[in-house]
Amino acid sequence: MKFDIKTPLGFTVRTTDEYWQKLLVKHPDLADLEELVEAALQLPDEIRESKRDSDVFLFYLQRREKRWVVAVARRLNEDGFLITAYQTDSIKEGKQLWHR
């Protein structure tokens, strides 16, 4: 297990070492940002529900002005798993569920 983190929404998000390595193939810029991805899940600045799927949540952590690290997770019952993570310069539309 790479990490298993409790989110402010009350469910846990997990990922494996193997899945993390696959994610880094698509987003190599995250190689040194694992701690920020974990922080986005545990202590985000904002959480939004996906517009397309109510079981998918986007956890935003501001890295600097107009730059966020986003962890995207799917919740199944009270379990969750990391779908992807990336850096962005904008927050996507979707219902805001939580804000720090």
Domain boundaries, the chain: 3-93
Residue 31 CA to residue 52 CA, distance in Å, equals: 28
CA distance 72 to 17: 17
Output the pTM of the full model.
Answer: 0.95
Cα 29 to chain centroid, rounded: 15
Count of other CB atoms within 10 angstroms of residue 1 = 7
What would the pLDDT profile of 52-95 be if each residue is shown by its tens digit? 999 999 999 999 899 999 999 999 888 999 999 999 999 998 89
Q: What is the pLDDT of residue 34?
A: 94
pLDDT tops 90 at residue 5: yes
Compute the distance between CA of residue 58 and CA of residue 54 in angstroms, rounded to an integer: 11
Q: Under a CB-based contact definition with an 8 Å cutoff, are residues 73 and 92 in contact?
A: no
User: 11: Cβ–Cβ under 8 A, 6 or more apart, which residues?
Assistant: 75, 78, 79, 80
The string of pLDDT tens digits covering residues 26-56 is 999 999 999 999 999 999 999 999 999 999 9
